Structure 1
Amino acid sequence: DRPFSSVEVSVADRTKTIVVRFSAEAEANSTSLRIGASFIGYEQAMLNQRRELPDWDFEEAKQRGREAWQRELGRVEIEGATAEQKSTFYTALYRVLQFPRLIHEIDESDAMRHYSPFDNGHIYDGPLYTDNGLWDTYRTAFPLFVLFYPEHSRSILEGWLNAYREGGRLPNWPSPGNRPCMIGSHSDSIFADAWAKGMRSFDPREAYAAMRKNAFENDAAGWAGRDHLDEYMSLGYVPVDARRDAAASCTLEYAYGDYCVSRLAKAAGRDDDFDTLMKRAQNYRHAWDPATGFMRGRLADGTWQEPFDPLAWGGAYTEGNAWQWLWSVQQDPYGLMELLGGRDAMAQKLDELLTMPSTTVVGGYGHVIHEMREVEHAAMGQYAHVNEPNHHVLFLYNYVGQPWKTQAAVRRVLAELYDVDGMVGDEDTGQMSAWYAFNAAGFYPFCPGSPYYLIGSPLFNELTIHLEGGGRFVVHAENQGRDNVYIQSATLNGEPFTRTWLRHEEIVAGGELKFVMGPSPNRKWGVGEGDAPPNDFR
């Protein structure tokens, strides 16, 4: 609201610096600035500024922002929360909605256009999104968008398809273009999950063509897809002598990715590929060492990598150890149960995971990484909530007929590892907060790519999801309290409910899921025939 006295622009070490000076005026105690930015050009930046800041009224701008966030956060209403829980919950939703960042802009005709980092900065029509760690967010953040914000999910999916159209591959870690970071190709999971839950905003044939590249074709540039795909396809696993680090983790994540790609192969009518991919989804078995009872790295000749310490971080594992990566078989937990020796053996192994010392061993990293210290601080055995590969693990108790242990463990994490100051571990572009938001509701997307949610333990007296189309799904918890973490009984739309899982269609149809909570486990709830979650391999 005052003229510049000078503007200086300098470039050094690939960094551009702009210094703006104002003339000194005795009566001016403050200066207001309106800034417009654009990836497309100067005229678009001016248009963006006029749209977002049409006047100099700072308080009015604050109010518009407040109203916008109220609309988004108001999709979910809670009752019976403490002040700290309410702040933590809505801050979690706020954080989830920060990512991925939209990179498209609205032109003078109100149409979406974007600068494409996937095609050397060319300008295209339509939406585009960036800045997202799909290795993290496929697990909970994107399933949250599908259920809570489906219109947002549809736009993101179209944006990822635009990235494929412009750059030839789906992104792995857009920031802003493709970045070779972490392992796997988890755009596969995002499309599979949306399709499994009834989203039909995209052509399954085009989506499958894009996903198929991840499962069957190397990316010559090395920016997308899967590392060492040829070895994986020929051997059924990624050998440690081909990939120095994270080979076992790659095998597990590629097998899960194959399951996800198979979902769209079926939708696209590619039954031959579907059969191949479903067989490959069992490749986790090639990482299983029955002698030690862990998933391990192995050489191309089939021998196991030595030496082996299940507490050692790194080596064949990404940001974790053998204890933490043992469970990365979301697509086939009953197959994992079989390898472990049955329900009782799997339950015992889970108990050991959560109760053993939280000791960390440097291992292949050669130095301490922050996730190690965070596991020690959390003090939940070798369970590593601070990092995403363990985010589904607590729900495995639902598969072994001990759902009360899921209930207690989930509520412990909600109480001890999250508060108004944040959480233990990285935010990871919304994934950590999405875990809190979903589990506060009392259910969780255990295996993205399937249409099921697993029951945990609801945190509030009442939580209402305002559904697309005007309906509501209400989770009500009678006798809720800090110590009343165990489900005593439940009803769904007034009918007795004993399943430890929900279908997506049951939620989006609207209704009420009502729990009665108590301080002691009810070992008879959720353990009958049909109460354990279903599985595509059984």
Structure 2
Amino acid sequence: MLKRLSTSVIFIALCTWSWAQDSLISYVDPFIGTGGHGHTFPGATVPFGMVQLSPDNGRSAWDWCSGYHYSDSLIAGFSHMHLSGTGIGDWLDISVMPLIAPLDDTTTFVQTQFSHDNERASPGYYQVTLENGIHVELTATERIGYHRYTYAQPNDTPVIRFDLSFHQNWDTPIETHISVLNDSTLIGYRYSTGWANVQRVYFAARTSFPFVKTILNNGLSASAMIDMAETYDRGKGVSAQLIFDGSLPHNTVELKVALSTTSYEKALEELHLAEDEGFNDVHQAAKDKWEAELQKIKISSGNDEIKRVFYTALYHTALSPTLYADRDGEYKNAHGDIHTMPNGASRYTLFSLWDTFRALNPLFTLTQPEKYTDILNSMLAFHDENGLLPVWDLSTWETNTMTGYHAIPVLADAILKDWPGLDAEQAYQAMLKSAYQDIRGVPDYIAYGYLPQDKAGGSVTITLEYAFDDWCIGQVAKKLGKTADHATFMNRARSYTNLFDKQTGFMRAKKSDGQFVEPFDPFWSEHDFDKSQYIEGNAWQHSFFVPHDVQGLAKLYGSNQGLSSKLDALFAAPSEMHGENISPDASGFIGQYAHGNEPSHHIAYMYSYIGESWKTQERVRQIVDSMYHDGPDGYAGNEDAGQMSAWAVWNIAGLYPANPASGEYVFGSPIADETTFTLPNGKLFVIRALNNGSQNSYIQSATLNGKPYEGTYILHQDLLNGGELVLKMGPKPNKRFGRKPETWPGTAGNQ
């Protein structure tokens, strides 16, 4: 009867009762993904916060992209900004480390031993007891990191060190500054370069107890009451040691560090507003924010591991993009220009769009009604400031990483769903700019109908991704009544056909003379983007990226059965890759399906587009069971700023946006016995899997709101209407379910 509970009073009462019954943050383990190649961080943050306060090991290597890897046993500091799940390391700004004695050499790089036995993390909170006896606790608000250090030894000389020279991986400080304002307050900034060439972070910090002396990195020692303002040479990082006497109450000192992207004056204002906020209150507020976030999608399952995987994944979907504007909406972009978002909106950064357009952004249209308008308009602000929509925006700098122009499917999905607060015409004009840009191989793609390999690397990947992005533009053009544009972009959307090789059954790179590149090996992988024909993968993984026209792809194979056989071959092929410079991103293999990287994420669902939904169900269950678990190495590859987690959230519930701009959520094989979505309009949508179990992975029949339902997908609008989808599960495939073409997804958008 949940389908009838749509009034706000009943909804609030139900949520309040449910919250009291089952606190969901207890199922979140921030250490999931910190091992293997997951590249997540375990520290304290709030949903989409500017501050992500987390430990750093001090090691520069690929698996330390987030600053921390579970295999390590050293901590070099606790910095305030981190990337979650990416393959490139940056940020780690404003590193702070408690010490038990001042350092004689102020340039010393300090690492302290710790044990995971003395380490804990939960949403909005991190704690560790270091080998030197210091007990560290961290929590956060959107723009302030809160530290609490308890010194265990009576002979300790409590010290807090700010090290603005600290960096790992790509990041390098180029100018840093610290000023001591009084016996408990300091301000400063850190400018650095790295993956994002321009990064500026300003801070203000305040201790709960006065320090008696400061030591700056040039060895100068003086009373903290003396103004220590100095700007140091470019390329030389500043450090400051704040030294306390032995009279700390309870041997404990608390520290607040506020961040701003505009100035340290703004950071000081943020500190002033937080004068009365104590550590415990902030920690409780962070817990409450995360509990509210997790309550948006609730599952029922007798398997606690599934709950830990699901709720940790849902937690990871709310880490990025991250807040970039100050409280008043003001921010300084990579050009050094100060802007303010209109109408009190917030600016966001960290757009890993090659990853997140597939599953995370469609999920936001269900889970982030309060923030998603600002996130979308942040992309348009980026366009206004830089001339193009973002490809991979970090600190408002275009890193130009990865392929496609995938802000387009994100904006298209929102426009097609009539997302409030987004100017469809403004967004459409920005989309056209990307589609007609004069860089990134676009002119050659337009001229040849594919991107020739001898004009630029990544011929296959780029051609197929541009074709999908163009389909998205075509659908928006149709909605906006732009008939000529619709025809143009639907024609461009078929560019994928120009690279299909009937002899091998693969998409293959072509040269500008129209000949396929030789020799050809479908297992070949080359990680150098300039040389590679398939970005981060091989022909097996990339040949199926036609989510907008699966029926058209099937015609290239001669029939639906021809495509089905090729998909079967993908999952049965040897799990090997050939080459001297194989991409490390391709991982999590089932045959040549590579779940550890995003190009494979829609492939299992292609069966449903050709009348074999039972094969989708079979493969989805296999992928979830083998690629996700609740240990530190619980992800099959880079978590990628929420995409790997969003895939898990959708698929544990039993749905997936295989074409992420179609508004269609295709049925998989639900792992949870019941999933309840609390929708932006306050309604509930419930998915119930009857007779569910580890051996019952196949859908036998479906009902929607009590009526028989033969479709193998549900539309976004139908889901928003609320109600109940019941899927009856069984141990053997029902090959009649989803066999009729009218029940298949993907049949309406190719016109």
Shift of 1:217: 2.3
Shift of 1:173: 0.2
Match of residue 296 from structure 1: 508
Match of residue 178 from structure 1: 398
Match of residue 429 from structure 1: 641
Shift of 1:50: 4.1
Match of 2:441 among 210, 217, 228: 228
Does 1:22 find its partner at 2:229? Answer: no
Q: How far apart, in 1, do the equivalents of 2:348 and 2:543 lie? A: 33
Shift of 1:99: 0.7
Taking only the aligned residue pairs, the percentage that are identical comes to 36
Kept in 1: contact 2:574–2:592 (CA 8 A): yes
Does 1:371 find its partner at 2:585? Answer: yes
Q: How far apart, in 2, do the equivalents of 1:81 and 1:199 lie? A: 36
Other structure's SS at 2:578 match: coil
What does 1:72-471 correspond to in 2, within 5 Å?
72-107=293-328, 112-117=329-334, 119-125=335-341, 126-176=345-395, 177-219=397-439, 227-243=440-456, 245-314=457-526, 315-362=532-579, 366-372=580-586, 374-375=587-588, 378=589, 380-421=590-631, 422-471=634-683
Match of residue 222 from structure 1: none
Q: How far apart, in 2, do the equivalents of 1:238 and 1:367 lie? A: 23
What root-mean-square deviation, in Å, do the aligned CA atoms of Structure 1 and Structure 2 show? Answer: 1.7
Match of residue 6 from structure 1: 214
Kept in 1: contact 2:537–2:583 (CA 8 A): no
Kept in 2: contact 1:160–1:171 (CA 8 A): yes
* Cα distance change on mapping 1:205 and 1:70 into 2, 3 Å: same
Shift of 1:15: 5.8
Deviation track 1:268-306 (CA, whole Å, cap 9, x = no partner) reads: 443222211110000001111112211010110101100
Deviation track 1:11-47 (CA, whole Å, cap 9, x = no partner) reads: 5773633323122215552211011111111232123
In structure 1, give the amino acid aligned to 2:623: V
Shift of 1:523: 1.4
Q: How far apart, in 1, do the equivalents of 2:215 and 2:302 lie? A: 51
In structure 2, give the amino acid aligned to 1:229: V
Other structure's SS at 1:301 match: coil
Match of residue 279 from structure 2: 58
Other structure's SS at 1:399 match: helix
* Cα distance change on mapping 1:254 and 1:15 into 2, 3 Å: farther
In structure 2, give the amino acid aligned to 1:518: G
Other structure's SS at 2:298 match: strand
Other structure's SS at 2:700 match: strand
Shift of 1:7: 5.5
In structure 2, give the amino acid aligned to 1:39: T
Q: How far apart, in 2, do the equivalents of 1:80 and 1:424 lie? A: 23
Kept in 2: contact 1:88–1:418 (CA 8 A): yes
In structure 2, give the amino acid aligned to 1:348: S
Match of residue 224 from structure 1: none
Structure with the larger strand share:
2
Deviation track 1:79-134 (CA, whole Å, cap 9, x = no partner) reads: 12421111111110111110111101212xxxx222222x4332323422111210
Structure with the larger helix share:
1
Match of residue 266 from structure 2: 44
Kept in 2: contact 1:204–1:267 (CA 8 A): no
Q: How far apart, in 2, do the equivalents of 1:38 and 1:73 lie? A: 28
Deviation track 1:496-532 (CA, whole Å, cap 9, x = no partner) reads: 0121111111100100001111111111212124111
Q: How far apart, in 1, do the equivalents of 2:595 and 2:728 lie? A: 27
**Which runs of no fewer than 5 residues in structure 1 stay unpaired?**
220-226
Number of equivalenced pairs = 517
In structure 1, give the amino acid aligned to 2:408: D
* Cα distance change on mapping 1:103 and 1:357 into 2, 3 Å: same
**Which runs of no fewer than 5 residues in structure 2 stay unpaired?**
1-207, 219-231, 527-531
Kept in 2: contact 1:192–1:448 (CA 8 A): no
| Structure label with greater radius of gyration | 2
Deviation track 1:409-433 (CA, whole Å, cap 9, x = no partner) reads: 1111111111112211001111000
Match of 1:70 among 291, 312, 317: 291
Q: How far apart, in 2, do the equivalents of 1:168 and 1:8 lie? A: 42
